[in-house]
Amino acid sequence: MSPDVIVIGTGVIGAAIAFELAKQGRRVLSLDRNAQAGHGSTSGSCAIVRMHYSTFDGTAFAWEGYHYWRDWADYLGLPAGSDLARFREVGCLVMKTEANGQLEKHKTFSAELGCPFEELTAEQVQARLPICDLASFAPARRLDDPAFGQPNGRRMGGAVC
Global pTM?
0.72
pLDDT (tens digit per residue) in 78-130: 888 888 878 888 888 999 988 888 999 999 999 999 999 999 999 999 999 99
Cα Rg, the chain, nearest whole Å: 20
Cα 91–chain centre separation = 11
For residue 121, which phi and psi values (nearest 5 degrees)? -75, 165
The domain locations on the chain are: 1-47, 48-160
